[in-house]
Structure 1
Amino acid sequence: MNLKQLCEGIKLDPDARQILYDYQMDEPQYQACKKQFYANRYAFFEKVKQTAGYRQLFLYLYARFAADVHEEYRLRGIDDEIYFDTFSDIQIWCLTCKRDYGEYGIEEYHWLQEHIQLRLFRLGRLQFQPSALERTLEVDGRTVFKNQIVLNVHIPSGESLESRSVEESFERARSFFRGITPVFTCHSWLLYPGLSEVLPQGSNILQFQKEFIIYETDCESNQAEQRIFNQPRSDRSQYEEHTTLQRSAKAYLLAGNKLGNGSGIKMNPIG
Protein backbone atom coordinates (compact mmCIF):
# COMPACT_ATOMS: atom_id res chain seq x y z
CA MET A 1 0.00 0.00 0.00
CA ASN A 2 1.42 3.39 -0.93
CA LEU A 3 0.30 6.89 0.05
CA LYS A 4 -1.58 7.51 -3.18
CA GLN A 5 -3.59 4.30 -2.83
CA LEU A 6 -4.34 5.12 0.81
CA CYS A 7 -5.48 8.65 -0.01
CA GLU A 8 -7.77 7.40 -2.75
CA GLY A 9 -9.18 4.64 -0.56
CA ILE A 10 -10.01 6.92 2.38
CA LYS A 11 -11.11 9.76 0.06
CA LEU A 12 -8.71 12.22 1.65
CA ASP A 13 -9.35 15.84 0.70
CA PRO A 14 -7.20 16.88 -2.31
CA ASP A 15 -5.50 19.73 -0.43
CA ALA A 16 -4.61 17.35 2.41
CA ARG A 17 -3.25 14.84 -0.10
CA GLN A 18 -0.93 17.47 -1.49
CA ILE A 19 0.51 18.04 1.97
CA LEU A 20 1.41 14.35 2.12
CA TYR A 21 2.86 14.26 -1.38
CA ASP A 22 4.99 17.36 -0.75
CA TYR A 23 6.19 16.50 2.76
CA GLN A 24 9.96 16.20 2.98
CA MET A 25 11.26 13.37 5.19
CA ASP A 26 13.97 10.91 4.31
CA GLU A 27 13.58 7.20 5.00
CA PRO A 28 15.93 7.01 8.04
CA GLN A 29 14.00 9.85 9.69
CA TYR A 30 10.71 8.12 9.01
CA GLN A 31 11.92 4.80 10.36
CA ALA A 32 13.19 6.52 13.51
CA CYS A 33 9.77 8.11 14.06
CA LYS A 34 8.04 4.80 13.47
CA LYS A 35 10.34 3.00 15.91
CA GLN A 36 9.68 5.59 18.61
CA PHE A 37 5.91 5.44 18.02
CA TYR A 38 5.83 1.72 18.75
CA ALA A 39 8.39 1.87 21.57
CA ASN A 40 6.94 4.82 23.52
CA ARG A 41 4.00 6.57 21.93
CA TYR A 42 3.79 9.26 24.63
CA ALA A 43 7.40 10.30 24.05
CA PHE A 44 6.62 10.19 20.32
CA PHE A 45 3.64 12.51 20.76
CA GLU A 46 5.66 15.02 22.75
CA LYS A 47 8.52 15.01 20.26
CA VAL A 48 6.22 15.59 17.30
CA LYS A 49 4.38 18.39 19.11
CA GLN A 50 7.67 20.27 19.47
CA THR A 51 7.93 20.44 15.68
CA ALA A 52 6.75 23.53 13.79
CA GLY A 53 3.67 22.52 11.82
CA TYR A 54 3.21 19.45 14.01
CA ARG A 55 -0.36 18.82 12.84
CA GLN A 56 0.86 18.31 9.28
CA LEU A 57 3.63 16.05 10.59
CA PHE A 58 1.07 13.93 12.47
CA LEU A 59 -0.99 13.71 9.27
CA TYR A 60 2.03 12.59 7.27
CA LEU A 61 3.20 10.04 9.82
CA TYR A 62 -0.22 8.56 10.50
CA ALA A 63 -0.87 8.22 6.79
CA ARG A 64 2.42 6.38 6.33
CA PHE A 65 1.85 4.22 9.41
CA ALA A 66 -1.60 3.35 8.02
CA ALA A 67 -0.12 2.40 4.66
CA ASP A 68 2.44 0.20 6.41
CA VAL A 69 -0.13 -1.75 8.48
CA HIS A 70 -2.02 -2.78 5.35
CA GLU A 71 0.25 -5.81 5.16
CA GLU A 72 -0.80 -6.85 8.68
CA TYR A 73 -4.46 -6.54 7.63
CA ARG A 74 -3.71 -8.78 4.67
CA LEU A 75 -1.94 -11.37 6.85
CA ARG A 76 -4.94 -11.45 9.20
CA GLY A 77 -7.34 -11.92 6.30
CA ILE A 78 -9.08 -8.58 6.86
CA ASP A 79 -10.43 -7.21 3.60
CA ASP A 80 -9.69 -3.80 2.11
CA GLU A 81 -13.21 -2.50 2.72
CA ILE A 82 -12.65 -2.71 6.47
CA TYR A 83 -9.12 -1.33 6.10
CA PHE A 84 -10.21 1.77 4.19
CA ASP A 85 -13.31 2.29 6.33
CA THR A 86 -11.21 2.12 9.48
CA PHE A 87 -8.61 4.59 8.25
CA SER A 88 -11.23 6.95 6.84
CA ASP A 89 -10.98 8.44 10.34
CA ILE A 90 -7.85 10.18 9.07
CA GLN A 91 -10.06 12.09 6.63
CA ILE A 92 -12.66 12.84 9.31
CA TRP A 93 -10.14 14.22 11.80
CA CYS A 94 -8.17 16.03 9.12
CA LEU A 95 -11.32 17.97 8.17
CA THR A 96 -12.03 18.59 11.85
CA CYS A 97 -8.54 20.04 12.20
CA LYS A 98 -9.19 22.32 9.23
CA ARG A 99 -12.46 23.49 10.80
CA ASP A 100 -11.04 24.07 14.29
CA TYR A 101 -7.50 25.29 13.53
CA GLY A 102 -7.69 26.55 9.96
CA GLU A 103 -5.20 23.99 8.62
CA TYR A 104 -5.20 20.45 7.33
CA GLY A 105 -3.54 18.09 9.75
CA ILE A 106 -4.22 15.89 12.76
CA GLU A 107 -4.85 17.11 16.30
CA GLU A 108 -6.55 13.90 17.51
CA TYR A 109 -3.27 12.03 17.59
CA HIS A 110 -4.08 10.13 20.80
CA TRP A 111 -7.20 8.69 19.18
CA LEU A 112 -5.77 7.67 15.84
CA GLN A 113 -2.98 5.62 17.36
CA GLU A 114 -5.63 3.03 18.26
CA HIS A 115 -6.26 2.40 14.55
CA ILE A 116 -2.56 2.07 13.75
CA GLN A 117 -2.07 -0.52 16.48
CA LEU A 118 -5.04 -2.58 15.23
CA ARG A 119 -7.04 -1.99 18.40
CA LEU A 120 -10.03 -0.46 16.63
CA PHE A 121 -11.93 -1.35 13.47
CA ARG A 122 -14.78 0.28 11.60
CA LEU A 123 -17.39 -2.25 10.50
CA GLY A 124 -20.02 -0.39 8.53
CA ARG A 125 -21.47 2.60 10.38
CA LEU A 126 -19.82 1.94 13.75
CA GLN A 127 -16.35 1.45 15.15
CA PHE A 128 -15.51 -1.31 17.63
CA GLN A 129 -12.65 -1.47 20.10
CA PRO A 130 -12.01 -4.58 22.22
CA SER A 131 -11.06 -3.65 25.77
CA ALA A 132 -11.18 -4.98 29.31
CA LEU A 133 -14.17 -3.82 31.34
CA GLU A 134 -12.97 -1.49 34.08
CA ARG A 135 -15.47 -2.63 36.72
CA THR A 136 -18.12 -5.25 37.34
CA LEU A 137 -21.57 -4.27 36.09
CA GLU A 138 -24.91 -5.72 37.13
CA VAL A 139 -27.56 -4.77 34.62
CA ASP A 140 -31.06 -6.24 34.25
CA GLY A 141 -30.19 -9.15 36.52
CA ARG A 142 -27.09 -10.05 34.53
CA THR A 143 -23.48 -9.60 35.59
CA VAL A 144 -20.55 -8.60 33.42
CA PHE A 145 -17.34 -8.94 35.38
CA LYS A 146 -14.38 -6.62 35.67
CA ASN A 147 -11.64 -7.37 33.11
CA GLN A 148 -14.02 -9.23 30.78
CA ILE A 149 -13.24 -8.28 27.20
CA VAL A 150 -16.09 -6.24 25.76
CA LEU A 151 -16.50 -4.28 22.53
CA ASN A 152 -16.51 -0.53 23.00
CA VAL A 153 -18.68 1.15 20.39
CA HIS A 154 -17.69 4.47 18.82
CA ILE A 155 -19.74 6.54 16.41
CA PRO A 156 -17.71 8.33 13.75
CA SER A 157 -19.19 11.56 12.44
CA GLY A 158 -20.39 12.21 8.93
CA GLU A 159 -23.34 9.85 8.42
CA SER A 160 -26.79 9.41 9.91
CA LEU A 161 -27.46 6.69 12.48
CA GLU A 162 -30.12 4.81 10.59
CA SER A 163 -31.36 1.81 12.55
CA ARG A 164 -30.70 -0.64 9.73
CA SER A 165 -27.07 0.42 9.28
CA VAL A 166 -26.54 0.30 13.05
CA GLU A 167 -27.88 -3.23 13.33
CA GLU A 168 -25.79 -4.33 10.35
CA SER A 169 -22.69 -3.04 12.15
CA PHE A 170 -23.51 -5.03 15.27
CA GLU A 171 -24.01 -8.15 13.17
CA ARG A 172 -20.69 -7.61 11.43
CA ALA A 173 -18.96 -7.14 14.81
CA ARG A 174 -20.38 -10.42 16.13
CA SER A 175 -18.85 -12.18 13.14
CA PHE A 176 -15.58 -10.23 13.01
CA PHE A 177 -14.78 -10.66 16.71
CA ARG A 178 -15.73 -14.33 16.83
CA GLY A 179 -13.63 -15.08 19.92
CA ILE A 180 -15.22 -12.35 22.04
CA THR A 181 -18.57 -12.69 23.80
CA PRO A 182 -20.78 -10.06 22.11
CA VAL A 183 -21.15 -7.56 24.94
CA PHE A 184 -21.09 -4.00 23.65
CA THR A 185 -20.44 -0.89 25.71
CA CYS A 186 -20.75 2.73 24.69
CA HIS A 187 -19.83 5.98 26.43
CA SER A 188 -21.18 8.92 24.47
CA TRP A 189 -23.21 12.10 24.53
CA LEU A 190 -25.58 10.26 22.19
CA LEU A 191 -26.66 8.12 25.15
CA TYR A 192 -27.51 11.04 27.42
CA PRO A 193 -31.16 10.60 28.50
CA GLY A 194 -31.85 14.36 28.38
CA LEU A 195 -31.70 14.23 24.60
CA SER A 196 -35.27 12.92 24.67
CA GLU A 197 -36.27 16.49 25.58
CA VAL A 198 -34.25 17.96 22.72
CA LEU A 199 -34.88 15.60 19.82
CA PRO A 200 -38.10 14.42 18.16
CA GLN A 201 -39.15 10.93 19.23
CA GLY A 202 -38.44 9.40 15.84
CA SER A 203 -34.85 10.65 15.68
CA ASN A 204 -32.08 8.22 14.79
CA ILE A 205 -30.14 9.22 17.91
CA LEU A 206 -33.00 8.24 20.21
CA GLN A 207 -33.42 4.99 18.31
CA PHE A 208 -29.70 4.35 18.81
CA GLN A 209 -30.13 4.90 22.56
CA LYS A 210 -32.66 2.08 22.63
CA GLU A 211 -29.92 -0.36 21.56
CA PHE A 212 -28.39 0.04 25.03
CA ILE A 213 -29.31 -0.18 28.68
CA ILE A 214 -28.04 3.11 30.06
CA TYR A 215 -26.51 2.40 33.45
CA GLU A 216 -24.73 5.67 34.24
CA THR A 217 -24.80 9.35 33.29
CA ASP A 218 -22.31 12.17 33.63
CA CYS A 219 -23.97 15.57 33.74
CA GLU A 220 -20.67 17.47 33.87
CA SER A 221 -19.24 16.28 30.57
CA ASN A 222 -19.23 18.87 27.79
CA GLN A 223 -18.85 16.34 24.98
CA ALA A 224 -22.38 17.03 23.75
CA GLU A 225 -21.69 20.75 23.42
CA GLN A 226 -18.37 19.97 21.71
CA ARG A 227 -20.05 17.74 19.16
CA ILE A 228 -23.15 19.86 18.56
CA PHE A 229 -21.53 23.31 18.51
CA ASN A 230 -17.90 22.35 17.66
CA GLN A 231 -16.41 24.55 20.41
CA PRO A 232 -17.89 24.71 23.95
CA ARG A 233 -18.50 28.21 25.28
CA SER A 234 -19.02 29.47 28.80
CA ASP A 235 -21.63 31.89 27.45
CA ARG A 236 -24.12 29.53 25.84
CA SER A 237 -26.12 32.40 24.34
CA GLN A 238 -23.26 32.67 21.79
CA TYR A 239 -23.87 29.20 20.38
CA GLU A 240 -24.72 29.01 16.69
CA GLU A 241 -28.20 28.01 15.53
CA HIS A 242 -27.60 26.74 12.01
CA THR A 243 -29.31 23.36 12.49
CA THR A 244 -32.47 22.15 14.17
CA LEU A 245 -30.35 20.25 16.70
CA GLN A 246 -28.33 23.35 17.52
CA ARG A 247 -31.45 25.44 18.01
CA SER A 248 -33.12 22.86 20.24
CA ALA A 249 -29.97 22.14 22.26
CA LYS A 250 -29.23 25.84 22.76
CA ALA A 251 -32.75 26.51 24.03
CA TYR A 252 -32.49 23.49 26.34
CA LEU A 253 -29.20 24.72 27.80
CA LEU A 254 -30.37 28.33 28.17
CA ALA A 255 -33.37 27.03 30.13
CA GLY A 256 -30.89 25.84 32.77
CA ASN A 257 -30.60 22.21 31.70
CA LYS A 258 -27.44 20.21 31.08
CA LEU A 259 -26.33 17.94 28.27
CA GLY A 260 -23.89 15.29 29.40
CA ASN A 261 -22.76 11.77 28.63
CA GLY A 262 -24.39 8.40 29.04
CA SER A 263 -22.82 4.97 29.49
CA GLY A 264 -24.68 1.98 28.13
CA ILE A 265 -24.35 -1.74 27.62
CA LYS A 266 -25.86 -4.05 25.00
CA MET A 267 -26.00 -7.82 25.47
CA ASN A 268 -27.53 -10.61 23.47
CA PRO A 269 -30.96 -11.67 24.75
CA ILE A 270 -30.99 -14.76 26.96
CA GLY A 271 -32.27 -17.89 25.25
Structure 2
Amino acid sequence: MHMKEFCNGIKLGEAASGIVMDYHMQESEYAELKRQFQQERHAFFQLVTGAAGYRQKLLYLFVRFAMDAYEEYQVRGISDDVYFNTFSDIRIWSEVCCRDFGEYGIEEYNWLQEHVRLRLFRLGRMQFQPIAMEGDVKAGDVIVENKQLVLNVHIPEGGALSPQEVAHSFSLARAFFRGITPVFICQSWLLYPGLDHIMKSDSNILQFQRLFHIYEVDEAAKEAEQRIFNRVAADPSEYGEDTSLQHAAKAYLLAGGKLGRGSGIYVPID
Protein backbone atom coordinates (compact mmCIF):
# COMPACT_ATOMS: atom_id res chain seq x y z
CA MET A 1 0.00 0.00 0.00
CA HIS A 2 1.52 3.30 -1.13
CA MET A 3 0.71 6.60 0.58
CA LYS A 4 -0.77 8.21 -2.53
CA GLU A 5 -2.95 5.15 -3.15
CA PHE A 6 -4.17 5.28 0.42
CA CYS A 7 -4.95 9.01 0.32
CA ASN A 8 -6.85 8.54 -2.92
CA GLY A 9 -8.65 5.51 -1.51
CA ILE A 10 -10.06 7.41 1.47
CA LYS A 11 -10.64 10.51 -0.72
CA LEU A 12 -8.42 12.67 1.43
CA GLY A 13 -8.51 16.24 0.08
CA GLU A 14 -5.61 17.90 -1.66
CA ALA A 15 -4.58 20.07 1.29
CA ALA A 16 -4.65 17.23 3.81
CA SER A 17 -2.96 14.84 1.38
CA GLY A 18 -0.22 17.41 0.87
CA ILE A 19 0.45 17.49 4.61
CA VAL A 20 0.82 13.72 4.69
CA MET A 21 2.86 13.41 1.50
CA ASP A 22 5.25 16.21 2.46
CA TYR A 23 5.71 15.21 6.10
CA HIS A 24 9.32 14.29 6.93
CA MET A 25 10.00 11.66 9.56
CA GLN A 26 12.92 9.29 9.89
CA GLU A 27 11.95 5.63 9.74
CA SER A 28 13.67 5.02 13.05
CA GLU A 29 11.48 7.69 14.68
CA TYR A 30 8.37 6.22 13.10
CA ALA A 31 9.30 2.71 14.30
CA GLU A 32 9.75 3.98 17.86
CA LEU A 33 6.49 5.95 17.82
CA LYS A 34 4.63 2.93 16.47
CA ARG A 35 6.13 0.78 19.23
CA GLN A 36 4.97 3.29 21.83
CA PHE A 37 1.51 3.42 20.28
CA GLN A 38 1.22 -0.36 20.45
CA GLN A 39 2.70 -0.83 23.92
CA GLU A 40 2.41 2.44 25.86
CA ARG A 41 -0.54 4.23 24.27
CA HIS A 42 -1.12 6.79 27.03
CA ALA A 43 2.53 7.84 27.01
CA PHE A 44 2.46 7.95 23.20
CA PHE A 45 -0.42 10.42 23.08
CA GLN A 46 1.12 12.54 25.85
CA LEU A 47 4.41 12.70 23.95
CA VAL A 48 2.94 13.55 20.56
CA THR A 49 0.30 16.05 21.70
CA GLY A 50 2.82 17.89 23.86
CA ALA A 51 4.61 19.38 20.85
CA ALA A 52 3.67 22.09 18.36
CA GLY A 53 2.08 20.86 15.13
CA TYR A 54 0.84 17.67 16.78
CA ARG A 55 -2.39 17.56 14.75
CA GLN A 56 -0.46 17.31 11.47
CA LYS A 57 1.90 14.76 13.01
CA LEU A 58 -1.04 12.63 14.14
CA LEU A 59 -2.58 12.83 10.67
CA TYR A 60 0.65 11.51 9.20
CA LEU A 61 1.01 8.82 11.85
CA PHE A 62 -2.56 7.55 11.55
CA VAL A 63 -2.19 7.34 7.79
CA ARG A 64 0.95 5.26 8.30
CA PHE A 65 -0.70 3.11 10.96
CA ALA A 66 -3.64 2.52 8.63
CA MET A 67 -1.34 1.59 5.77
CA ASP A 68 0.45 -0.87 8.03
CA ALA A 69 -2.92 -2.44 8.90
CA TYR A 70 -3.57 -3.30 5.25
CA GLU A 71 -1.55 -6.51 5.45
CA GLU A 72 -3.69 -7.79 8.33
CA TYR A 73 -6.83 -6.91 6.38
CA GLN A 74 -5.55 -9.09 3.54
CA VAL A 75 -4.65 -11.93 5.91
CA ARG A 76 -8.21 -11.84 7.28
CA GLY A 77 -9.68 -11.74 3.78
CA ILE A 78 -11.34 -8.34 4.32
CA SER A 79 -12.10 -6.49 1.10
CA ASP A 80 -10.44 -3.26 -0.01
CA ASP A 81 -13.87 -1.60 0.02
CA VAL A 82 -14.23 -2.25 3.75
CA TYR A 83 -10.62 -1.17 4.31
CA PHE A 84 -10.96 2.20 2.58
CA ASN A 85 -14.46 2.82 3.96
CA THR A 86 -13.25 2.14 7.49
CA PHE A 87 -10.27 4.45 7.23
CA SER A 88 -12.28 7.17 5.52
CA ASP A 89 -12.79 8.30 9.12
CA ILE A 90 -9.30 9.79 8.88
CA ARG A 91 -10.61 12.07 6.14
CA ILE A 92 -13.76 12.89 8.10
CA TRP A 93 -11.89 13.80 11.27
CA SER A 94 -9.24 15.77 9.42
CA GLU A 95 -12.05 17.87 7.93
CA VAL A 96 -13.63 18.28 11.39
CA CYS A 97 -10.23 19.39 12.67
CA CYS A 98 -10.02 22.01 9.93
CA ARG A 99 -13.53 23.22 10.74
CA ASP A 100 -12.91 23.44 14.48
CA PHE A 101 -9.24 24.51 14.61
CA GLY A 102 -8.56 26.03 11.21
CA GLU A 103 -6.00 23.40 10.19
CA TYR A 104 -6.04 19.92 8.69
CA GLY A 105 -4.87 17.29 11.12
CA ILE A 106 -6.24 14.92 13.74
CA GLU A 107 -7.64 15.90 17.11
CA GLU A 108 -9.86 12.84 17.71
CA TYR A 109 -6.87 10.56 18.21
CA ASN A 110 -8.44 8.42 20.95
CA TRP A 111 -11.26 7.46 18.61
CA LEU A 112 -9.10 6.58 15.60
CA GLN A 113 -6.98 4.13 17.56
CA GLU A 114 -9.90 1.67 17.36
CA HIS A 115 -9.65 1.59 13.57
CA VAL A 116 -5.93 0.91 13.32
CA ARG A 117 -6.17 -1.77 16.02
CA LEU A 118 -8.82 -3.54 13.88
CA ARG A 119 -11.48 -3.14 16.57
CA LEU A 120 -13.92 -1.18 14.42
CA PHE A 121 -15.09 -1.49 10.82
CA ARG A 122 -17.30 0.59 8.57
CA LEU A 123 -19.79 -1.56 6.71
CA GLY A 124 -21.95 0.56 4.46
CA ARG A 125 -23.29 3.68 6.15
CA MET A 126 -22.44 2.68 9.73
CA GLN A 127 -19.53 1.51 11.83
CA PHE A 128 -19.53 -1.56 14.06
CA GLN A 129 -17.36 -2.43 17.03
CA PRO A 130 -17.54 -5.75 18.91
CA ILE A 131 -17.60 -5.09 22.67
CA ALA A 132 -18.50 -6.94 25.85
CA MET A 133 -21.66 -5.60 27.48
CA GLU A 134 -21.11 -3.94 30.84
CA GLY A 135 -23.86 -5.11 33.18
CA ASP A 136 -27.20 -6.77 32.54
CA VAL A 137 -29.62 -4.72 30.45
CA LYS A 138 -33.32 -5.24 29.82
CA ALA A 139 -35.10 -3.19 27.18
CA GLY A 140 -38.60 -4.26 26.24
CA ASP A 141 -38.49 -7.99 25.66
CA VAL A 142 -34.75 -7.93 25.02
CA ILE A 143 -32.32 -9.03 27.72
CA VAL A 144 -28.56 -8.68 27.30
CA GLU A 145 -26.34 -10.23 29.94
CA ASN A 146 -23.18 -8.85 31.49
CA LYS A 147 -20.08 -9.54 29.36
CA GLN A 148 -22.20 -10.73 26.43
CA LEU A 149 -20.50 -9.90 23.13
CA VAL A 150 -22.54 -7.34 21.19
CA LEU A 151 -21.99 -5.02 18.23
CA ASN A 152 -21.66 -1.37 19.13
CA VAL A 153 -23.06 0.88 16.39
CA HIS A 154 -21.56 4.25 15.44
CA ILE A 155 -22.85 6.66 12.81
CA PRO A 156 -20.08 8.68 11.15
CA GLU A 157 -20.72 12.14 9.79
CA GLY A 158 -21.81 12.62 6.19
CA GLY A 159 -24.42 10.99 4.00
CA ALA A 160 -28.08 10.25 4.50
CA LEU A 161 -29.18 7.79 7.16
CA SER A 162 -31.98 6.42 5.02
CA PRO A 163 -33.88 3.28 6.11
CA GLN A 164 -32.51 1.50 3.05
CA GLU A 165 -28.90 2.39 3.88
CA VAL A 166 -29.43 1.44 7.52
CA ALA A 167 -30.94 -1.94 6.63
CA HIS A 168 -28.11 -2.64 4.18
CA SER A 169 -25.49 -1.75 6.78
CA PHE A 170 -27.01 -4.04 9.40
CA SER A 171 -27.17 -6.82 6.82
CA LEU A 172 -23.49 -6.36 5.99
CA ALA A 173 -22.62 -6.44 9.70
CA ARG A 174 -24.46 -9.70 10.28
CA ALA A 175 -22.51 -11.31 7.45
CA PHE A 176 -19.17 -9.77 8.46
CA PHE A 177 -19.45 -10.74 12.15
CA ARG A 178 -20.85 -14.21 11.54
CA GLY A 179 -19.62 -15.57 14.88
CA ILE A 180 -21.39 -12.93 16.97
CA THR A 181 -25.09 -13.08 17.84
CA PRO A 182 -26.69 -10.08 16.07
CA VAL A 183 -27.41 -7.87 19.05
CA PHE A 184 -26.70 -4.22 18.28
CA ILE A 185 -26.32 -1.48 20.87
CA CYS A 186 -26.01 2.23 20.26
CA GLN A 187 -25.29 5.21 22.49
CA SER A 188 -26.00 8.37 20.57
CA TRP A 189 -27.85 11.66 20.45
CA LEU A 190 -29.79 10.06 17.60
CA LEU A 191 -31.54 7.88 20.19
CA TYR A 192 -32.61 10.72 22.46
CA PRO A 193 -36.42 10.54 22.78
CA GLY A 194 -36.80 14.32 22.81
CA LEU A 195 -35.81 14.56 19.15
CA ASP A 196 -39.45 14.02 18.22
CA HIS A 197 -39.99 17.64 19.34
CA ILE A 198 -37.69 19.04 16.66
CA MET A 199 -37.97 16.51 13.81
CA LYS A 200 -40.75 15.28 11.58
CA SER A 201 -42.04 11.81 12.43
CA ASP A 202 -40.88 10.40 9.08
CA SER A 203 -37.34 11.77 9.40
CA ASN A 204 -34.51 9.31 8.79
CA ILE A 205 -33.18 9.85 12.31
CA LEU A 206 -36.47 9.06 14.04
CA GLN A 207 -36.97 6.00 11.83
CA PHE A 208 -33.51 4.83 12.89
CA GLN A 209 -34.32 5.54 16.53
CA ARG A 210 -37.49 3.42 16.40
CA LEU A 211 -35.45 0.31 15.63
CA PHE A 212 -34.03 0.40 19.15
CA HIS A 213 -35.39 -0.35 22.60
CA ILE A 214 -34.15 2.62 24.63
CA TYR A 215 -32.84 1.51 28.04
CA GLU A 216 -31.08 4.61 29.30
CA VAL A 217 -31.25 8.38 28.75
CA ASP A 218 -28.59 10.94 29.63
CA GLU A 219 -30.24 14.35 29.89
CA ALA A 220 -26.96 16.16 30.55
CA ALA A 221 -25.08 15.01 27.45
CA LYS A 222 -24.21 17.75 24.96
CA GLU A 223 -23.48 15.50 21.98
CA ALA A 224 -26.67 16.56 20.17
CA GLU A 225 -25.78 20.24 20.40
CA GLN A 226 -22.24 19.52 19.23
CA ARG A 227 -23.48 17.61 16.20
CA ILE A 228 -26.32 19.98 15.30
CA PHE A 229 -24.46 23.28 15.84
CA ASN A 230 -20.83 22.06 15.55
CA ARG A 231 -20.13 23.50 19.00
CA VAL A 232 -21.54 23.69 22.50
CA ALA A 233 -22.59 27.08 23.87
CA ALA A 234 -23.48 27.93 27.46
CA ASP A 235 -26.37 30.06 26.18
CA PRO A 236 -28.55 28.54 23.41
CA SER A 237 -29.27 32.04 22.11
CA GLU A 238 -25.70 32.05 20.75
CA TYR A 239 -26.43 29.22 18.31
CA GLY A 240 -26.85 29.91 14.61
CA GLU A 241 -29.93 29.03 12.60
CA ASP A 242 -28.53 28.17 9.18
CA THR A 243 -30.62 25.01 8.78
CA SER A 244 -34.20 24.08 9.61
CA LEU A 245 -32.90 21.59 12.20
CA GLN A 246 -30.78 24.27 13.88
CA HIS A 247 -33.77 26.61 13.92
CA ALA A 248 -36.03 23.98 15.53
CA ALA A 249 -33.37 22.80 17.99
CA LYS A 250 -32.52 26.34 19.09
CA ALA A 251 -36.16 27.23 19.67
CA TYR A 252 -36.65 24.02 21.64
CA LEU A 253 -33.62 24.71 23.85
CA LEU A 254 -34.64 28.32 24.45
CA ALA A 255 -38.05 27.07 25.57
CA GLY A 256 -36.36 24.96 28.25
CA GLY A 257 -36.13 21.67 26.34
CA LYS A 258 -33.23 19.24 26.61
CA LEU A 259 -31.26 17.47 23.91
CA GLY A 260 -29.39 14.58 25.53
CA ARG A 261 -28.32 11.11 24.53
CA GLY A 262 -30.06 7.76 24.49
CA SER A 263 -28.78 4.19 24.74
CA GLY A 264 -30.64 1.42 23.00
CA ILE A 265 -30.62 -2.19 21.84
CA TYR A 266 -31.68 -3.51 18.46
CA VAL A 267 -32.14 -7.20 17.68
CA PRO A 268 -33.18 -7.83 14.08
CA ILE A 269 -36.12 -10.15 13.53
CA ASP A 270 -35.28 -12.85 11.03
Q: What's the TM-score, normalizing by structure 2? A: 0.99
Measure how far apart 1:54 and its partner are. 0.3
* Matching of residues 148-227 of structure 1 within 5 Å: 148-227=148-227
Helix, strand or coil for the counterpart of 1:182? coil
Measure how far apart 1:268 and its partner are. 3.1
Measure how far apart 1:17 and its partner are. 0.4
* Matching of residues 1-271 of structure 1 within 5 Å: 1-269=1-269
Give the Cα–Cα distance (whole angstroms) in 2 for the partners of residues 235 and 262 of structure 1.
23
Q: Aligned letter for 1:144?
A: V
Helix, strand or coil for the counterpart of 1:64? helix
Measure how far apart 1:143 and its partner are. 2.0
The answer to whether the 8 A contact 2:139-2:214 is kept is no
Q: Aligned letter for 2:122?
A: R
Deviation digits for residues 61-81 of structure 1 (CA, Å, limit 9, x no counterpart): 000000110000000000000
Give the Cα–Cα distance (whole angstroms) in 1 for the partners of residues 19 and 174 of structure 2.
38
Measure how far apart 1:154 and its partner are. 0.1
Give the Cα–Cα distance (whole angstroms) in 1 for the partners of residues 244 and 142 of structure 2.
38
Q: Aligned letter for 1:107?
A: E
Give the Cα–Cα distance (whole angstroms) in 1 for the partners of residues 142 and 89 of structure 2.
34
Structure 1 segments of 4 or more deviating over 3 A?
none
Give the Cα–Cα distance (whole angstroms) in 1 for the partners of residues 142 and 7 of structure 2.
45
Helix, strand or coil for the counterpart of 1:185? strand
The answer to whether the 8 A contact 2:154-2:186 is kept is yes
Give the Cα–Cα distance (whole angstroms) in 1 for the partners of residues 71 and 114 of structure 2.
17
Deviation digits for residues 77-129 of structure 1 (CA, Å, limit 9, x no counterpart): 00000000000000000000000000000000000000000000000000000
Give the Cα–Cα distance (whole angstroms) in 2 for the partners of residues 211 and 35 of structure 1.
42
Give the Cα–Cα distance (whole angstroms) in 1 for the partners of residues 141 and 91 of structure 2.
42
Give the Cα–Cα distance (whole angstroms) in 1 for the partners of residues 2 and 43 of structure 2.
27
Percent identity of the aligned residues?
57
Helix, strand or coil for the counterpart of 1:252? helix
Helix, strand or coil for the counterpart of 2:150? strand
Helix, strand or coil for the counterpart of 1:55? helix
Give the Cα–Cα distance (whole angstroms) in 2 for the partners of residues 229 and 140 of structure 1.
33
The answer to whether the 8 A contact 2:138-2:215 is kept is no
Measure how far apart 1:53 and its partner are. 0.3
Q: Cα RMSD between the aligned structures? A: 0.8
Measure how far apart 1:138 and its partner are. 1.7
Q: Aligned letter for 1:156?
A: P
Give the Cα–Cα distance (whole angstroms) in 1 for the partners of residues 102 and 156 of structure 2.
21
Q: Aligned letter for 1:115?
A: H
Helix, strand or coil for the counterpart of 1:265? strand
Helix, strand or coil for the counterpart of 2:74? helix
Measure how far apart 1:9 and its partner are. 0.3
Give the Cα–Cα distance (whole angstroms) in 2 for the partners of residues 141 and 198 of structure 1.
29
Give the Cα–Cα distance (whole angstroms) in 1 for the partners of residues 2 and 37 of structure 2.
20
Unaligned residue ranges in structure 2 (runs of 5+): none
Q: What's the TM-score, normalizing by structure 1? A: 0.98
Helix, strand or coil for the counterpart of 2:34? helix
